[in-house]
């Protein structure tokens, strides 16, 4: 814990962590809020899953683009534009009753305009701390973000069930406006300039560690998304059980991140952590009570934040600084495509097999997520005792000779 306390004493670190957490907090609410709202309006989990999938596809397409835009126009202009468009699109979903295709359209637009806060802050971090502090900072960030997933589902479920599903969405919009403004106003956002990348878009995926991180992130978040839909289907939207169980899943992730964050990242780190997620998710298929599910999903959660920490460090250590934002954008795209696939497949399986179908989907995705880094170990950088900072950008130096 001394590493974390040292980090928090570093100028600006605590402020930027809290600001970006508040700015990203709505996205721990919106997927569940959309699910509850659209299912209530349409009466179909499959329809709700399609709407979530549309949002995730929009985010997936936006990730690399908006990340590169920050290198062209600067962080603040891109963040301001996306916060405004996203807030308007999400408000429309909450306030206007539409057919499923229209819900999908506005959900897609909301995803397309998701503010690129995560790529921005991941790019800022290496400029705020020394090289030895970077991996613990990634771990602290991955752990702290679980607060979003602990409180987000509980707050969303409470507001949606006690006040109305549209108010669950509108609450997220208000937090988006407040958190986005706070993050954009942070001095570090104006101080750090992302160099314009000299590579064509997508070239960064040719680096095996970046591709491996993107694929595993796709599978990990796909499993988590399917779990979320399955938990909601198990308990319905008439009480707080679904939000509490999902909050405990995230609490397990928070605990795992803090407990394992100081451990060196070796070539087996990712497969080991994904195995924890797979084991807990598979055991969850055999339980449907709130207490028993909470226990096994807490165990599954122990591997989530540590796995994300490994993914962040893999990407950071494998690319030039000018490519970090795009690399994180692609990693986010993989995760969001996984969320789209997980929620859509889970929704279809729930309609045909009941809530257990979503847990089957989650277990299958988590298993492949364990298998991929196991088979791709040779592409996994060994960061034990190594610097996880990005590769410096260099320019050719002209030498004068007499």
Distances (CA, A) of 189 to 77, 125, 210, 248, 316: 11, 11, 24, 33, 19
Half-sphere exposure of 133 (CA within 13 A, CB side): 16
pLDDT at residue 266, as a whole number:
82
CB atoms within 10 A of CB 198: 10
CB atoms within 10 A of CB 181: 15
pLDDT at residue 402, as a whole number:
40
pLDDT at residue 385, as a whole number:
66
Which residue is listed with tokens 């796995």?
307
Q: How far is CA 120 from the centre of its chain?
A: 13
pLDDT at residue 395, as a whole number:
46
Distances (CA, A) of 2 to 15, 21, 128, 188, 235: 19, 22, 18, 24, 40
pLDDT at residue 46, as a whole number:
79
C-alpha distance across the termini of the chain, in Å: 57
| Cα(256)–Cα(155) distance, integer angstroms | 23
| Cα(303)–Cα(272) distance, integer angstroms | 8
For the segment 282-303, what is each residue's pLDDT rounded down to a tens digit? 999 998 888 899 999 999 999 9
Residue ranges per structural domain of the chain: 16-190+204-379
CB atoms within 10 A of CB 8: 12
pLDDT at residue 118, as a whole number:
82
Is residue 66 helix, strand or coil?
A: helix
| Cα(43)–Cα(94) distance, integer angstroms | 16
Low-confidence ranges of the chain (pLDDT < 50): 395-402
Here the tokens at position 234 are 């198990």
Provide the 8-state DSSP code for 199: S
Residues 274 and 326: beta-carbon distance below 8 Å: no
Which residue is listed with tokens 């721990």?
28
| Cα(273)–Cα(387) distance, integer angstroms | 21
pLDDT at residue 389, as a whole number:
62
Is residue 395 helix, strand or coil?
A: coil
Question: What CATH topology corresponds to 16-190+204-379?
Answer: Growth Hormone; Chain: A; (1.20.1250)
Residues 208 and 8: beta-carbon distance below 8 Å: no
């Amino acid at each position: 814990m001394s590493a974390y306390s040292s980090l928090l004493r570093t100028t600006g670190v605590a402020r930027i962590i809290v600001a970006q957490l508040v700015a990203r907090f709505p996205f721990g609410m919106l997927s569940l809020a959309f699910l509850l709202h659209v299912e209530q309006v349409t009466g179909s989990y499959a329809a709700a899953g399609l709407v979530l999938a549309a949002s995730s596809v929009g985010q997936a397409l936006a990730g690399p683009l908006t990340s590169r835009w920050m290198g062209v126009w600067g962080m603040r202009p891109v963040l301001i534009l996306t916060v405004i468009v996203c807030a308007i699109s999400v408000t429309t979903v909450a306030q206007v009753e539409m057919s499923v295709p229209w819900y999908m359209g506005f959900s897609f637009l909301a995803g397309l305009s998701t503010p690129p806060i995560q790529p921005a802050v991941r790019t800022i971090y290496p400029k705020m701390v020394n090289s030895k502090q970077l991996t613990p900072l990634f771990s602290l960030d991955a752990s702290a973000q679980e607060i979003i997933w602990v409180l987000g589902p509980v707050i969303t479920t409470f507001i949606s069930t006690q006040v109305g599903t549209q108010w669950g969405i509108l609450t997220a919009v208000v937090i988006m406006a407040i958190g986005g403004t706070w993050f954009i106003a942070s001095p570090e956002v104006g101080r750090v300039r992302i160099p314009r990348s000299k590579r064509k878009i997508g070239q960064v995926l040719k680096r095996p560690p970046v591709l491996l991180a993107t694929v595993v992130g796709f599978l990990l978040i796909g499993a988590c998304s399917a779990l979320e839909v399955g938990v909601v289907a198990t308990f319905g939207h008439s009480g707080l059980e679904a939000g509490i169980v999902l909050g405990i899943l995230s609490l397990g992730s928070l605990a795992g991140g803090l407990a394992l964050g100081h451990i060196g990242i070796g070539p087996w780190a990712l497969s080991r952590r994904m195995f924890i997620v797979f084991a807990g998710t598979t055991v969850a298929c055999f339980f449907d009570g709130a207490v028993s599910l909470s226990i096994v999903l807490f165990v599954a959660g122990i591997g989530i934040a540590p796995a994300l920490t490994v993914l962040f460090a893999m990407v950071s250590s494998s690319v030039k600084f000018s490519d970090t934002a795009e690399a994180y954008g692609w990693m986010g795209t993989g995760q969001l495509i996984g969320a789209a696939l997980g929620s859509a497949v889970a929704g279809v399986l729930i309609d045909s097999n009941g809530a257990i179908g979503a847990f089957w989907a989650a277990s299958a995705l988590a298993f492949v997520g364990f298998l991929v880094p196991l088979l791709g170990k040779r592409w996994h950088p060994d960061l034990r005792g190594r610097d996880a900072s990005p590769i410096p950008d260099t320019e050719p130096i002209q030498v004068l000779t007499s």
